[in-house]
A and B are shown apart, each in its own frame.
Chain A
Amino acid sequence: MLATIHFLNILLPVLYLAGFLVYYFDFTKDVKGLNNTKRIFLFVTLVFHVFYLFARTVEFNHPPITNKFEIFTVLAFSIMCSYFLLELLTDIRNTGMFIIIFAFFFQLFSSMFIEDLIEVQEVLRNRLLGIHVISAMLGYSGFTISTVYGLLYLMLYKSIKISKFGLMFNRLPSLETLEKLSFNSLIIGFILLTIAIIIGIIWLPSAFPNFSYLDPKLVVTGVVWIIYGLVIAAKYSGFWYGRKLIIFSQIGFAVAILSVIATIVFKDSFHSFY
């Protein structure tokens, strides 16, 4: 089993890179016949990744959420899984390369530094923590995908505005579609982050004696949640559309990234395990 885990550890970044290249090739060259091939390739990669996560859980007797490099591989998987579902639901297949690149880097860093940990803190074996972390990861995956589509929206917006009808203009879906993809991913991300926060609020005080609502990471996560909540409210109230909305959600993502950095900077947080 250990040999298989080590083999998959090397194979997964290779598969993600290959997937990225297939999607890149299709985006730039518009090769007929690659449409289904790339989707099947992505599916096979995900199957390998599921097996890898499962094998790690069984072999090391804990879900792979106990250190940041284990988290990275879960993040890579959840980003790819969310994208795959989105591609299946919308049948928009041209934008994969912009998402896979994130999964590739997360998996690459994970594969480079991940260790075979058997001994972990007892609190990290808790099931509620597993749900808390996985929903948070899926939530952040949603925000990452939303941000990528948001950036693509802004790029296409600019190229149409300045009449630059190049590759992006020819290959990307319409602005309205990009806005919809970005917003829908954001909503899914928001719901999952909300679940993560609720579980956190219920479980953390009982699990950690030094729990504090003023913990830096909790505060920043709260700010992220409020920003995304405002974006959703602004959209549904008909107050903001298109570019303004996208820019605001990009700010939300920037703050979310800051929250990750915050956990590294503020080492004295109770919320830091690694």
Chain B
Amino acid sequence: MNLVGITINHRTAPIELREALHLSKNEIVDLIPKLKETLFNEGFIISTCNRTEIYGIPKVSKLHYQHIIDFLLENKNISGLKPEHFEKYFSCGAVKHLFKVSTGIDSLVVGDSQILGQVKEAFEISEDMNFSGSVLRRVFDVAVKVGKRAIRETEIGEGAVTVSYAAVQVVEKIFASLDKKKALVIGAGETGELAAIHLKDRGVGEIAIANRTLSRAEKLAEKIHGEIIPFSQLKDHLHHFDIIISATSSNELIITKDDIKQMMKRRKGLPVVIMDIAIPRDIDPGSQEIDNVFYHDIDSLEVIVKQNMKKREKEIPKVESIVMEELVSFFSWYNTLEVVPTIKRVREFFEDIRKDELEKIKHKVTDDDYAKLEDMTRRMIGRLLHNPTIKLREIAEQGTNIQEVETHSVILKELFGLNNGHSKIYKPEESDIPKKEESKVE
């Protein structure tokens, strides 16, 4: 198989280079016609914030990896890129790498749930632009299957691996259902936004945003269909919320322990979860001493993240065995492609003989007898060719010795004279047919 692939990812290059090389969907759409014209018959491009990968089946047999890298650099003007920033794959290696990428075990965050979708999108673009053939389509199908199996059969995607998700995980350990809970997100920056989105995804009933700059609060509130709490009145509203996540860039505490005590009085002691994911912290850590106040800062949430990362890493061998299983299955299929034309030609050859012989007796027998003969000869040819066909497929599926597959194919073609593509049906002369008496063994 002549599939080639190059990748630049978190293992091979620093983030600046990965970011610089990132290709948007439009850029990929622009690049594919050029790739098609110069390098590949078929292929696809995957580009995420942590990796850019190009796979393809070359137009010429002597394509060097450097040609692909040069092609990329021609279209994306980046300085500082060196050949060692790229990993290169060929044939089985390229397929295996793609399968690993689909499962998320090659991602910066092991078990990344988004990568499978990104791989799917890459193939869809390739399909839309007529840049994928039957083999690549099969590669894609199996890659998606491997990704799904990894999620279903292992725990590679289990547990929170970001601080915002870990915060939500803790919240879910305190409250049974979040749909009747109210959450307040203080700070509408990147972290606050991520936390608000996670809360919304988890089905929190009501979410409110408080931010010093009102316009940013409004923007985020609109995005998550939440309400706005004026920052100056923040402390007056605290008791309304079961979940408080704070992620401002303030250099000093914005909520003191006394504020929390007041809040708990007004809540009549109802439990509250406080996630302080700001650095430096926004809420007095002494709040955790108050009954039914579950205070967590970024350090305690990091504990969960590390635990989950370890668990995911333990799952890698299981995922790798799924990758290997599917890789073997894929190449079993691929290797049979080599023998399919031979099998097809042998069958056609036998079918031609059958039809020829039937034609000879067509007018010498009744219609009923002819139908019986036709049926009988079809079954006979089927039985005669059954074992050779199965054997040839088996040898190809094993894929251990390509030479053996080729030898068997050549022998078959030689024996039946199929080498020119047009098999000539041998028609014996009368003298060639042994008389009954002559064929008798004395």
Q: Could you list which residues of chain A lie within 8 angstroms of chain B, going by C-beta atoms?
A: 156, 160-161, 163, 165, 169, 172-177, 180, 238-244
Give 17 A-B pairs besides A165-B304, A241-B271, A242-B269 with Cβ atoms closer than 8 angstroms. A160-B170, A160-B173, A160-B174, A161-B288, A163-B300, A172-B173, A174-B172, A174-B174, A175-B174, A175-B175, A175-B271, A176-B174, A177-B176, A241-B269, A241-B292, A242-B270, A242-B292
B173's partner among A174, A241, A243, A244 (CB-CB below 8 A) is: A174
Chain A residues near B170 (CB, 8 Å)? 160
B269's partner among A160, A163, A175, A244 (CB-CB below 8 A) is: A244
Report the Cα distance A180→B173, complex, angstroms: 14
- Ordered by A's residue number, 19 sampled pairs between the chains whose C-beta atoms are within 8 Å are A156-B173, A160-B173, A160-B174, A163-B303, A165-B304, A169-B173, A174-B174, A174-B176, A175-B271, A176-B175, A176-B271, A177-B176, A180-B176, A241-B292, A242-B270, A242-B292, A243-B292, A244-B269, A244-B291
Report the Cα distance A161→B300, complex, angstroms: 10
Given contacts A240-B269, A241-B271, is CB(A173)–CB(B176) below 8 Å? yes
Report the Cα distance A175→B173, complex, angstroms: 6
Q: Considering the complex of A and B, which 8 residue pairs feature the smallest CB-CB distances, nearest first?
A: A163-B300, A176-B176, A177-B176, A174-B176, A175-B174, A165-B304, A176-B175, A174-B173
Q: How far is the CB of A155 from chain B (nearest CB, A)?
A: 12
Chain B residues near A174 (CB, 8 Å)? 172-176
Tally of B interface residues using CB under 8 Å: 20
Given contacts A160-B170, A174-B172, is CB(A243)–CB(B291) below 8 Å? yes
Chain A residues near B176 (CB, 8 Å)? 173-174, 176-177, 180
Q: How far is the CB of B270 from chain A (nearest CB, A)?
A: 6
Report the Cα distance A242→B270, complex, angstroms: 8
Least CB separation from A239: chain B residue: B268
Report the Cα distance A216→B268, complex, angstroms: 38
Given contacts A174-B173, A175-B173, A180-B176, is CB(A241)–CB(B303) below 8 Å? no
Chain B residues near A242 (CB, 8 Å)? 269-271, 292
Q: How far is the CB of A149 from chain B (nearest CB, A)?
A: 13
Chain A residues near B175 (CB, 8 Å)? 174-176
The total number of A-B Cβ pairs within 8 Å is 48
> Is B24's CB within 8 Å of the partner chain A?
no
Report B153-188 residues with CB < 8 Å from chain A CB. Answer: 170, 172-177
Least CB separation from A172: chain B residue: B173
Q: Which of B174, B268, B296 has the most CB of A within 10 A?
A: B174
Least CB separation from B174: chain A residue: A175
Report the Cα distance A243→B264, complex, angstroms: 14
Report the Cα distance A173→B172, complex, angstroms: 9
> Is B262's CB within 8 Å of the partner chain A?
no
Chain A residues near B303 (CB, 8 Å)? 163, 165
> Is B256's CB within 8 Å of the partner chain A?
no
Evaluate contact between B296 and A163: CB separation under 8 angstroms.
Answer: yes
Chain B residues near A180 (CB, 8 Å)? 176
Evaluate contact between B288 and A165: CB separation under 8 angstroms.
Answer: no
Q: How far is the CB of A243 from chain B (nearest CB, A)?
A: 6
Q: How far is the CB of A66 from chain B (nearest CB, A)?
A: 43
Q: How far is the CB of A198 from chain B (nearest CB, A)?
A: 34
Least CB separation from B302: chain A residue: A163
> Is B294's CB within 8 Å of the partner chain A?
yes
Report the Cα distance A243→B271, complex, angstroms: 9
Chain A residues near B269 (CB, 8 Å)? 240-242, 244
- B266-294 toward A: CB 8 Å interface, digit per residue (1/0)? 00111100000000000000001001101
Q: How far is the CB of A271 from chain B (nearest CB, A)?
A: 39
Report the Cα distance A220→B294, complex, angstroms: 37
Q: How far is the CB of B93 from chain A (nearest CB, A)?
A: 33
> Is B307's CB within 8 Å of the partner chain A?
yes
Least CB separation from B295: chain A residue: A161
Chain A residues near B288 (CB, 8 Å)? 161
Least CB separation from A240: chain B residue: B269
Least CB separation from B301: chain A residue: A163
Report the Cα distance A156→B271, complex, angstroms: 14
Q: How far is the CB of B85 from chain A (nearest CB, A)?
A: 38
Q: How far is the CB of A1 from chain B (nearest CB, A)?
A: 48
Least CB separation from B296: chain A residue: A163
Report the Cα distance A177→B294, complex, angstroms: 16
Chain A residues near B177 (CB, 8 Å)? 176
Chain A residues near B268 (CB, 8 Å)? 238-239, 241
Chain A residues near B291 (CB, 8 Å)? 243-244
Chain B residues near A175 (CB, 8 Å)? 173-175, 271
Report the Cα distance A175→B177, complex, angstroms: 11
- B307-321 toward A: CB 8 Å interface, digit per residue (1/0)? 100000000000000
Chain A residues near B271 (CB, 8 Å)? 175-176, 241-242
Report the Cα distance A177→B173, complex, angstroms: 9
Evaluate contact between A241 and B270: CB separation under 8 angstroms.
Answer: yes
Report the Cα distance A241→B304, complex, angstroms: 27
Report the Cα distance A7→B151, complex, angstroms: 47
Chain B residues near A176 (CB, 8 Å)? 174-177, 271
Q: Which of B173, B176, B296, B300 has the most CB of A within 10 A?
A: B173
Report the Cα distance A169→B304, complex, angstroms: 10
Report the Cα distance A75→B268, complex, angstroms: 38
Q: How far is the CB of A90 from chain B (nearest CB, A)?
A: 10
Q: Which of A163, A169, A175, A242 has the most CB of B within 10 A?
A: A163
Report the Cα distance A241→B272, complex, angstroms: 12
Report the Cα distance A242→B272, complex, angstroms: 11
Report B402-438 residues with CB < 8 Å from chain A CB. Answer: none
Report the Cα distance A160→B173, complex, angstroms: 8
Q: How far is the CB of B366 from chain A (nearest CB, A)?
A: 64
Chain B residues near A161 (CB, 8 Å)? 288, 294
Report the Cα distance A180→B292, complex, angstroms: 16
Least CB separation from B181: chain A residue: A176
Chain B residues near A241 (CB, 8 Å)? 268-271, 292
Least CB separation from A173: chain B residue: B176
Report the Cα distance A169→B303, complex, angstroms: 12
Q: How far is the CB of B202 from chain A (nearest CB, A)?
A: 13
Chain A residues near B296 (CB, 8 Å)? 163
Report the Cα distance A81→B268, complex, angstroms: 36
Chain B residues near A177 (CB, 8 Å)? 176
Chain B residues near A172 (CB, 8 Å)? 173
